[in-house]
Structure 1
């Protein structure tokens, strides 16, 4: 569950009982919320777009225990607010193959600038809504595809 605490602070509650982190506080990575707005996105839709990127982070279950422990310590709300993950989105064009006359439909791709591991941890922990900071020029597309 995601709750907006103030104009620039969000609290994400983690529903999975097996996860030691119960909630995460987020603040904007960049303070200019006009040029870099924060969009609340559906975690499943975000993941399906992110899976097309070459820098996707694998499931948390495959991480070394030290990596998992480090991200849990980093995310714990007792340490204060952390930066909202920052990403970009674009439509990827696919060239026609030599055996197909029809061009493939462009597909949305999400690429992270910062926050890949914290986003993957939250998605794997069962969070259904994630705040993402994106450049204003890409915010409409991110909203359309992932909100």
Structure 2
């Protein structure tokens, strides 16, 4: 792990190119943190990093009926668990990319949804669903994800970690 750690920037500010995001794992036996880099690193990508509440993100992802939704980690076969554990190991030279998601709203269930009065968030993973579900299983509470700038406000609204307070959010740090 890099020796110099700084507080995370505001979720509205994208991370600097080349930055490594460190996510603590309080319940993981193999290692106590993972590292992520951005998916889109060139200037003008129109993508942002948003710090999300991992539980909220996965609730929205479970509503995705148009894409591949994974079973809980306890239902994965041993080889899949071992593979993701090895892939995320912070001792590896290669730093994995953070999950990349999309988000939309759709009508909620019940009469209020039918009348168009209730809406729910739906997250689709374009990359990183195994990572996100494994990290939740390993005890991660917050996670940096990348999203297109036009969807970032909705992601912050429905899944953002902003309501967690500074102490909790600083559990994820940006290392330079």
Normalised-by-shorter TM-score class:
0.7 to 0.9
TM-score between the two structures when normalised by the length of structure 1? 0.85
Structure 2: stretches of 5+ with no match in the other structure: 1-6, 10-14, 161-176
In the aligned structure 2, how far is the partner of 1:21 from the partner of 1:104?
A: 45
Give 1:95 shift.
Answer: 8.8
TM-score (norm 2): 0.72
Q: What is the CA-CA distance between 1:48 and the residue it aligns to? A: 1.3
Partner of 2:150, secondary structure, is helix
Could you report, residue by residue, the CA deviation over 1:24-48 in whole angstroms, capped at 9, with x for unpaired residues? 1100011147611110100111111
Q: Write the deviation string for residues 102-123 of structure 1: whole angstroms up to 9, x where unpaired.
A: 3462211000000010110001
Compute the RMSD of aligned alpha carbons: 2.5
Cα displacement (A) at 1:21: 3.3
Structure 1 stretches lacking a partner, 5+ long: none
Structure 2 counterparts to residues 23-34 of structure 1, below 5 A: 23-32=33-42
- Corresponding residue for residue 49 of structure 2: 38
CA distance in 1, matches of 2:42, 2:109: 37
